[in-house]
Amino acid sequence: MSHECPNDLLVLVFAPFGKDSVLIEKVLQQSGFAVRVCPDAANFLASVGESAGAAIVTEEVLQSEHIGALAEKLSRQPRWSDFPLIVLPAAA
């Protein structure tokens, strides 16, 4: 029986503005997570559902025209599957 450790799952990071993606990647890697920084929406959407176990995105990403494509992709997951999506709000 194989047991998949949470740290074995790829964490996607889509934070295209400023230094957010660099800082998030560094913290996750220091904690032992495999990380893929997605440079654009097309890469991010293509990566969701491959070997990714979770994603971290910034709030600005969800206000773009790509939110519909992400919702569609997540709606096609198996009923038993949950894909953690952490949204980081913009600083006030």
Could you read off the pLDDT of 33-79 as tens digits, one per residue?
999 999 998 899 888 877 788 999 998 887 777 788 888 888 888 77
**Per-residue pLDDT at 2:** 42
**Per-residue pLDDT at 28:** 94
What is the residue extent of each domain of the chain? 7-88
Distance CA 66, CA 15 (A): 14
Tokens of 31: 């904690």
- Residue 1 pLDDT > 60, yes or no? no
Distance CA 92, CA 77 (A): 34
Q: Classify domain 7-88 by CATH architecture.
A: 3-Layer(aba) Sandwich (3.40)
Q: Which residues contact 26 (CB under 8 A, 6 or more apart)?
A: none
Q: How far is CA 59 from CA 17, 45, 49, 90, 92, in A?
A: 11, 16, 20, 6, 12
DSSP structure class, residue 20: H
